[in-house]
Amino acid sequence: MKRKTFIKSTLPLAMMPLIQQCFKLRSRESESNGDMDNRVLVLVQLEGGNDGLNTVIPLDQYSTLTDARKNILIPDKSVLLLKNSSITGFHPSMTALQRLYSNQQLAVIQGVGYEDTNLSHFRSTDIWLTGSDAKTILNNGWIGRFLDQKYPDYPKGYPNAKAPYPPAIQVGSVLSTALQGPTVGLGIALTSTSSFYDMTLGTYTKAPDTPAGHELNFLRMLANETLQYTAVLKSAARAQTNLSKLYPMPGTNQLADQLKIVAQLIGGGLKTKVYMVNLQGFDTHGGQVESGNPTKGKHSELLSLLSTAIEAFLDDLHLMGKQDKVLGMTFSEFGRRIKSNASHGTDHGSSGPVFLFGTKMKSGLFGTNPTISATVTVDSNLPMQYDFRSIYANILKGWFGISNSEMAQTLPGISPAALDLFDPRQNQV
């Protein structure tokens, strides 16, 4: 393997300057529901383009859906009905999310997308991560612009006594474009779950006894030694163990493994404002369902991983007493077409559902079931009900309480969607 490959895999850790100073984490501080400085946002990226019509199923459109996607449509008797609804339900593998919905810990926003949807994975992902429109190319992310105003001149002078914690943390990947500020990335990346445990334990996984392996060992050791936030990350990890028994076995659910780390750091007192995790595999052109059994297959497995991971995460936060300070959001770069293809799959489409999870936003179903025409073609797409940037604005305003001037710098020209997701009384400090 070439040197540049090693460097790329460890760059978010290895290139950090030497630890400037160590900071003692304060023990769990008392937090009021209105203390917006202590609030956390967890972003869950569903990579590949999730099929919204087999995730949140409009039963009142079932007859036309049967004609449009008869080889992949979930049988109506298998759909998990949402509480107080007879016309909308979840995929049968989403039992955990159904429980969260019934317990008022889940909001489902239908038809989220943007005008003139770009059906390229790369471009559409950039649009969602940067918060641009379809015609504008930005080189920084919506979260990066938000955090840039909270951490002026970052990384110069950071960490410091007033801001000893990383502004954002990406778990399980390189630093996302969403966390890129106008000049630098506003966060750190833990490129794998194993790298987190290596760092917090002061160890690193041994590579093979080869010249390439020796170089990789050196880079891993360097990453552990030079990460400027090592002290606070270790302190947080050692201050809190995971408490939920709902997590699946390590290595069986990549999203749960990532969220487990996020919960541990939040529970241990880390004041990082934004975490980002991901679940891959949603580009289901073929084999989305098993032939003859639409309730099984690739999509079913992914939705089960998502559902199980989020429930375990929220259970963990509840047992740690941190449930009221965390808001989660799922997103995917686009949805899928209304009409299925001959490979038991779906092709790139437009809008789809977004989930918010937690205890302090308003739960329930937002938006309406889409109307499915009896004459859909292979090019037919779902209409957009909410621009994704207005959802971002709603979160920034309702959850983080940013000012109008900060909003103008973060998402210029965008207003919060009229969703009423947050009770204004919660924002009183």
**Number of Cα atoms under 13 Å in the Cβ half of residue 369:** 21
Who's near 238: CB < 8 A, 6+ residues apart? 200, 268
Tokens 């900060």 label which residue?
406
pTM: 0.88
Task: Give residue 219's pLDDT.
Answer: 53
Domain that holds residue 296: 3-13+32-427
Who's near 220: CB < 8 A, 6+ residues apart? 10, 195, 198, 204, 205, 207
Task: Give residue 37's pLDDT.
Answer: 78
Tens digit of each residue's pLDDT, the chain (429 residues) = 443 333 333 334 433 333 333 333 343 333 443 467 799 999 999 999 999 999 999 999 999 999 999 999 999 999 999 999 999 999 999 999 999 999 999 999 999 999 999 999 999 999 999 999 999 999 999 999 999 999 999 999 899 999 999 999 999 888 999 999 999 999 999 888 887 887 777 665 666 778 776 666 655 544 543 367 888 999 999 999 999 999 999 999 999 999 999 999 999 999 999 999 999 999 999 999 999 999 999 999 999 999 999 999 999 999 999 999 999 999 999 999 999 999 999 999 999 999 999 999 999 999 999 999 999 999 999 999 999 999 999 999 999 999 999 999 999 999 888 888 987 545 443
Q: Is 71 helix (H, G, I), strand (E, B) or coil?
A: coil
On whether residue 18 sits in a domain, the answer given is no
On whether residue 178 sits in a domain, the answer given is yes
On whether residue 19 sits in a domain, the answer given is no
On whether residue 390 sits in a domain, the answer given is yes
Q: Provide the domain count of the chain.
A: 1
Q: For the residues of 334-383, what is the DSSP string, one character each?
A: --B-SS--TTS---B-S-EEEEEEESSS--EEES-PPPPPTT--TT--PP
Angle, CA 311 vertex, CA 325 and CA 245 arms, to 5° = 100
Task: Give residue 12's pLDDT.
Answer: 42
On whether residue 21 sits in a domain, the answer given is no
On whether residue 328 sits in a domain, the answer given is yes
On whether residue 191 sits in a domain, the answer given is yes
Burial class (CB in 10 A: 0-12, 13-18, 19+), 155: middle
Nearest to 277 by CA among 179, 132, 395: 179
Task: Give residue 7's pLDDT.
Answer: 37
Residue 186, Cα to own-chain centre: how many angstroms? 17
On whether residue 316 sits in a domain, the answer given is yes
d(CA 308, CA 277): 15
CATH of the domain at 370: 3.40.720
